[in-house]
Amino acid sequence: MKIIYALIIIQGVGQIASYLIIFSLPIAGEENGGGPVGVTLPMAKFKPQFTRLLLIDQCIREGNFPNCSTIAREHETSSKTIQRDIDYLRDFLHAPIEYESSKRGYYYSEPNYKLPALSINESDLFAICIAQKLLKQYENTPIYGKLQSVFEKIEASLPDKVAVLPSILEKRVSFFQEPRTYINPEIWEKVFGALRESRVLKMQYQVPGHAAPSEREVDPYHVVSYQGEWYLIGYCHFRKKILTFAISRIKNSEVLNTHFEIPRDFDFEKFTGSHFGIYWGDKEYKVKIKFSPEIAPLIKERTWHPTQQIKENRDGSSILFLKTNYLLEVKRWVLSWGSGAVVIGPKNLRLELRQEIRNILKFYK
């Protein structure tokens, strides 16, 4: 087992985060009959430099205004070497290092700054690669390109292009994507800009089934991703209440100079309550659904709702109990199971399903 040091530079929106990542992986051929295929780690030459970077960071954070000479003595190296390391931290990694002439030493202009250090092993690297493949589900948003760029920078910074079982990842691990909508990158940036700065968003919103979009002014409170779509939850000045807007249906938008404050009593978790899907309401319903013996095992395999309870019957059928504040998506979910699911309650959900089935039958005569 050998220790590998690699400095990872991750650039986000408006800022750069630097990470000293310490890899602890078996060398190919060293353990377990050869070790994992594709892992090559001979990088001992990096150890001294990154050890010094950690030491310099620690010395500066102690607040004793160390200089090149004092650090060099502690690390048994030259002052010129420490000076080059400090220049590297400040100029390349953008560490907020300043020099106080009266104290003849360095300090951080941002008191809480710390050079992050992460310990990553083989399974961590594998998880990172899996996460990269999972990014595909966000291809409909500008965040995909930015996150993909982060992963590419991590990959490029790994010592000797460390690879973790690439054949498995590329050929034997896949993710089926949900159907997703297209989101205009400009709309995306404006929505998140308004959300970040707590400014009113003026937009043209296309309601399904309406010929023309309607103009709205919305205070963006929250954004949520659900089944291939991104939704904006905010206070609609036109309807005078909090509504949910599909971001893909926003046709034009403008971030106004008007600022707003989210009400203190607004809590997204409490607001959405016992929702089933992306919509929610004010009234809570007790739902009771019977599933046939053929479908019951599939229902028991998953957690469909936080409040769910399942009762198993002697004939192999099961009854699912849950509480929700919106029935539309429950109705759609029940219909997806065909004759294998029968709603016992509430009564209004049974009536809605009966009418929906009648409407469907008109097309199958």
Predicted confidence (pLDDT) per residue in 223-248, tens digit: 998 888 899 999 999 999 999 999 99
| pLDDT confidence of residue 44 | 36
Average pLDDT in the chain: 79
Q: What's the whole-model pTM score?
A: 0.59
Stronger pLDDT, 156 or 284, i.e. the higher one: 284
- As a whole-number percent, the residues of the chain with pLDDT over 90 amount to 42
Work out the pLDDT band at 24, boundaries 50, 70, 90.
very low
Which of these, 337, 289, 286, 336, lies nearest to 310 by C-alpha position?
289
Distance in angstroms (rounded) separating the CA atoms of residues 200 and 217: 7
Stronger pLDDT, 126 or 301, i.e. the higher one: 301
Distance in angstroms (rounded) separating the CA atoms of residues 40 and 162: 6
| pLDDT confidence of residue 117 | 56
Q: Residues 66, 60: contact at Cβ < 8 Å?
A: yes
Work out the pLDDT band at 110, boundaries 50, 70, 90.
confident
Work out the pLDDT band at 347, boundaries 50, 70, 90.
very high
Stronger pLDDT, 153 or 29, i.e. the higher one: 153
Beta bridge partner(s), residue 225: 230
Distance in angstroms (rounded) separating the CA atoms of residues 220 and 259: 11
Domain spans, the chain = 1-177, 185-272, 285-364
Q: Per CATH, is 185-272 categorized as 3.40.50?
A: no
| pLDDT confidence of residue 157 | 53
Q: Which helix (H) or strand (E) holds 324?
A: strand 318-324
Work out the pLDDT band at 8, boundaries 50, 70, 90.
very low
203 torsion bin: left (phi>0), alpha (psi -120 to 50), beta (else): beta
Helices (H), the chain: 47-61, 68-75, 79-91, 122-134, 143-157, 166-171, 185-197, 268-272, 296-300, 328-336, 347-361
| pLDDT confidence of residue 53 | 84
Cα dihedral: 186, 187, 188, 191 (round 10): 130
| pLDDT confidence of residue 20 | 40
Phi then psi for 225, rounded to 5 degrees? -100, 135
185-272 and 285-364 agree in CATH topology? no
pLDDT at residue 322 is higher than 60: yes
| pLDDT confidence of residue 275 | 82
Distance in angstroms (rounded) separating the CA atoms of residues 348 and 334: 14
Q: What is the CATH number of domain 285-364?
A: 3.30.70
Predicted confidence (pLDDT) per residue in 188-213, tens digit: 999 999 999 999 999 999 988 888 89
pLDDT at residue 216 is higher than 90: yes
Phi then psi for 327, rounded to 5 degrees? -105, -10
| pLDDT confidence of residue 90 | 86
For residue 252, count other CB atoms closer than 10 A to its CB: 14
pLDDT at residue 82 is higher than 60: yes
Predicted confidence (pLDDT) per residue in 39-66, tens digit: 333 333 344 666 788 888 888 988 889 9
